[in-house]
A and B are shown apart, each in its own frame.
Chain A
Amino acid sequence: MLNIDSLQKGVVIDHIEVGKSMEIYRALELDKLDCSVAIIKNARSKKTARKDIIKIEDRIDIDLDILGFIDPNITVNIIDNGEIVEKKHLSLPQRIVNVARCKNPRCITSVEQELDHVFLLTDEARGIYRCAYCEHQYQDHK
Chain B
Amino acid sequence: MKKKIISPLDLSTQDIDELLTLSDRIIENPQAFAHKCDGKILATLFFEPSTRTRLSFESAMLSLGGQVLGFSSANSSSAAKGESVADTVRTVECYADIIAMRHPKEGAATVAAAKIDCPLINAGDGGHHHPTQTLTDLLTIHRLKGHLDNLTIGLCGDLKFGRTVHSLIRAMMRYQGVKFVLISPKELQIPDYIRSDLEDGGFDFVEAERLEEVMPTLDILYMTRVQRERFFNEDDYIRLRDSYILDKSKMELAKSDMIVMHPLPRVNEISVEVDDDPRAAYFKQAKFGRFVRMALILKLLEVA
Interface residues of A (CB under 8 A from B): 104, 106-112, 114-115, 131-137
Nearest opposing residue in chain A for B108, CB measure = A108
Query: In chain B between 106 and 143, which residues have their CB closer than 8 angstroms to a CB of chain A?
Result: 106-108, 110-111, 125-128
Contact of B85 with A108 in the complex, beta carbons under 8 Å? yes
Give the number of chain B interface residues (Cβ < 8 Å).
16
Judge whether A108 and B127 touch: CB under 8 Å. Answer: no
Tell whether B105 is near chain A: CB-to-CB under 8 Å: yes
Q: How far is the CA of A114 from the CA of B85 in the complex (A)?
A: 11
Contact between B106 and A133 (Cβ–Cβ < 8 Å)?
yes
- Other A-B contacts than A108-B105, A110-B105, 9 sampled, CB-CB below 8 A, are A106-B105, A108-B103, A108-B110, A111-B105, A112-B85, A131-B107, A133-B108, A133-B111, A134-B106
A107 and B84 form a contact (CB under 8 A): no
- A135 touching B111, Cβ below 8 Å: no
Tell me if A's interface is mostly helix, strand, loop or mixed.
loop
CB distance from A58 to the nearest CB of B (A): 38
User: What residues of B have a CB within 8 angstroms of the CB of A131 in the complex?
Assistant: 107
- How far apart are B202's CB and chain A's nearest CB, in angstroms? 17
A134-B128, A135-B128 as given contacts; A109 in contact with B107, CB under 8 Å: yes
Task: Please name all residues of chain A whose beta carbon is closer than 8 Å to the beta carbon of B125 when the two chains form the complex.
Answer: 108
- A-B contacts, 25 listed (Cβ < 8 Å): A106-B104, A106-B105, A106-B106, A106-B127, A107-B107, A108-B85, A108-B111, A108-B125, A109-B107, A111-B105, A112-B111, A114-B84, A115-B111, A131-B107, A132-B110, A133-B106, A133-B107, A133-B108, A133-B110, A133-B111, A134-B126, A134-B128, A135-B128, A136-B106, A137-B193
Determine whether the beta carbon of A106 is less than 8 Å from that of B111: no
Query: What are the 7 tightest A-B residue pairs by CB atom distance, in nearest-first order?
Result: A133-B107, A134-B106, A134-B107, A108-B105, A108-B107, A108-B108, A133-B110
Shortest beta-carbon distance, A75 to chain B, in Å?
31
Give B contacts to A, CB under 8 Å: 84-86, 103-108, 110-111, 125-128, 193
Residues of B within 8 A of A112 (CB): 84-86, 111
Which residue of A is nearest B104, CB measured?
Answer: A106
Query: Once bound together, how far apart are the Cα atoms of A4 and B288, in whole Å?
Result: 71
Are B106 and A104 within 8 A (Cβ)? yes
Which B residues are CB-close (under 8 A) to A137? Answer: 193
Which among A107, A114, A115 is the interface contact of B106 at CB below 8 angstroms? A107
Q: Please report the C-alpha to C-alpha distance between residue A115 and residue B106 in the assembled complex, in whole angstroms.
A: 13
B300 vs chain A, min Cβ distance (A): 22
Q: How far, in whole Å, are A115 and B85 apart by their CA atoms in the complex? A: 11
Q: How far is the CB of A118 from chain B (nearest CB, A)?
A: 10
- Name the A residues within 8 Å of B111 (CB-CB): 108, 112, 115, 133
Closest to B111 in A: A108
CA distance A106 to B149 in the complex (A): 35
Contact indicator B126/A106 (Cβ below 8 Å): yes
Chain A residues whose C-beta falls within 8 Å of the C-beta of B110 in the assembled complex? 108, 132-133
Q: How far is the CA of A23 from the CA of B172 in the complex (A)?
A: 43
Chain B residues closer than 8 Å to A134, beta-carbon distance: 105-107, 126, 128
Chain B residues within an 8 Å CB radius of A108? 85, 103, 105-108, 110-111, 125
| Interfacial chain B residues near A136, Cβ < 8 Å | 106
Which residues from chain A contact B104 at a C-beta distance below 8 Å? 106
B106 to A: closest C-beta gap in Å: 4
Contacts of A135 on B, CB cut-off 8 Å? 106-107, 128
Closest to A104 in B: B106
Looking at the assembled complex, report how far the CB atom of A15 sits from the nearest CB atom of chain B, in whole angstroms.
30
Residues of A contacting B106 with CB < 8 Å?
104, 106-108, 133-136
A129 CA to B216 CA, complexed, in Å:
41
CA distance A133 to B6 in the complex (A): 10
In the bound complex, how far is the Cα of B106 from the Cα of A131, in angstroms? 10
Q: How far is the CA of A44 from the CA of B34 in the complex (A)?
A: 77
CB distance from B273 to the nearest CB of A (A): 37
Query: How far is A115 from B105 in the complex, measured between Cα atoms in Å?
Result: 13
Collect the chain B residues with CB atoms within 8 Å of residue A133's CB: 106-108, 110-111
Bound-state CA distance A111–B86 (Å) is 13
Specify which chain A residues have a CB less than 8 angstroms from the CB of B86 in the assembled complex.
112
